[in-house]
Amino acid sequence: MTNQNVVAVSDSKVAVSGFITAAQKPPAVPGTYITISKKKLLQNLDINSTARINSWVDSMRASSPTHINSPPPLSDDWTMNHPSALDMFERITNASKGKQIVMFMDYDGTLSPIVDDPDRAFMPEPMRATVRKLARYFPTAIVTGRCRDKVYSFVRLAELYYAGSHGMDIKGPSKGFKHNKGGESVLFQPASEYLPMIDEVYKTLLEVTRDTPGAKVENNKFCVSVHFRCVDEKKWSELAKQVGLVLEGYPDLRLTEGRKVLEIRPTIKWDKGKALEFLLESLGYANCADVFPIYIGDDRSDEDAFKVLREKGQGFGILVSKTPKDTSASYSLQEPSEVMAFLRRLVDWKRLSFRRQFRSKGRLEESKYLLTI
């Protein structure tokens, strides 16, 4: 990855990076939107599609357990391999000594509790105050599958980096903030040519899911999310069929699953792990040994970032979960309240470190003065 992928823009100007190569460009998008009846879509389902849909439903159940089929609580074996980041706080800070900590965090389920209505996933005020303090001491980014503008409306902190749509829409803080080294805002949108296609799929999904009680389709700009948190589990298979059949007409899009959400996004090789690497480069820490990234997230999509950190051997991933999961994260926290407690300890630890540095500097200056008299 090179610096030419970074586009610097002023607050009043929007620019798009030319990251996508010719081989990655999507085909021409149809200029008209065609309404397809749900009945006709379901009639066109073939055997191969059925197998794929069944696989999706199994994944939906695995990633989104209901109260009827809940997974077991955290076991001793799992917590031994993924101990609490609060319990291991001193080990984490000791490993970071002499290095610049850079914070990356998911939003839903990490900084804000999971709620039934995704439009009401507001950030609690105590968490906002904590993240504001965190950003004073460390470069801080929110990396989410949500639309960047929507997450910003929830968080309302201009000093952060925001990576929306699973990192396909990245914007840095405005000029004048402490960790904005370049003096201008960073904007990166590697999937901009897919926007018309994403918008068309969004409209189609709105149409075919309108009769499924509880289903909510969300346009996250560079991806579409179909939330099924409020859908009866008996209807999950039908919902998956509706989504799958729409997706069949768009080979340049793919489907992934999260916590009670199906997500449709471009097939380009870009994810939260790539976004983490891009942001580190934008901050001037590409291939640096003196950087210590910490990534906190609760979703399956966060695993891409956890894997990057594990492969690099830099920093740590922290999974937010009350149940055991296969993960590349090194540590765990159980819920957003524990995330806030961990962030507050980081702020207090850094503040204390600064005080010690100032005291040592003061004693050194005093010693120099005594030598001159």
The whole-number pLDDT of residue 1 equals: 44
pLDDT 10s digits, 249-287: 999 999 988 888 999 999 999 999 999 999 999 999 988
Quote the CA–CA distance of 17 and 268 in Å, as a whole number: 14
Q: What is the pTM of this model?
A: 0.77
Please name the residue ranges forming H helices in the chain.
38-43, 47-63, 76-81, 89-95, 125-137, 148-155, 195-208, 236-247, 272-282, 303-312, 336-371
Instruction: Return the minimum-mean-pLDDT range out of 16-20, 50-54, 114-118.
Output: 16-20
Average pLDDT, the chain: 82
Q: Can you give the length of the chain in residues?
A: 373
Which positions are annotated as active-site residues?
106
pLDDT 10s digits, 145-165: 999 999 999 999 999 999 999
What percent of the chain clears pLDDT 90, i.e. is strictly above it?
64
The whole-number pLDDT of residue 357 equals: 77
The whole-number pLDDT of residue 257 equals: 86
| Residue type present at position 205 | L
C-beta of residue 268 within 8 angstroms of C-beta of residue 191: yes
C-beta of residue 139 within 8 angstroms of C-beta of residue 291: no
The whole-number pLDDT of residue 354 equals: 84
Residue 364 reports pLDDT greater than 90: no
Quote the CA–CA distance of 262 and 181 in Å, as a whole number: 37
Quote the CA–CA distance of 359 and 366 in Å, as a whole number: 11
The whole-number pLDDT of residue 312 equals: 93
What percent of the chain clears pLDDT 70, i.e. is strictly above it?
73
The whole-number pLDDT of residue 56 equals: 60
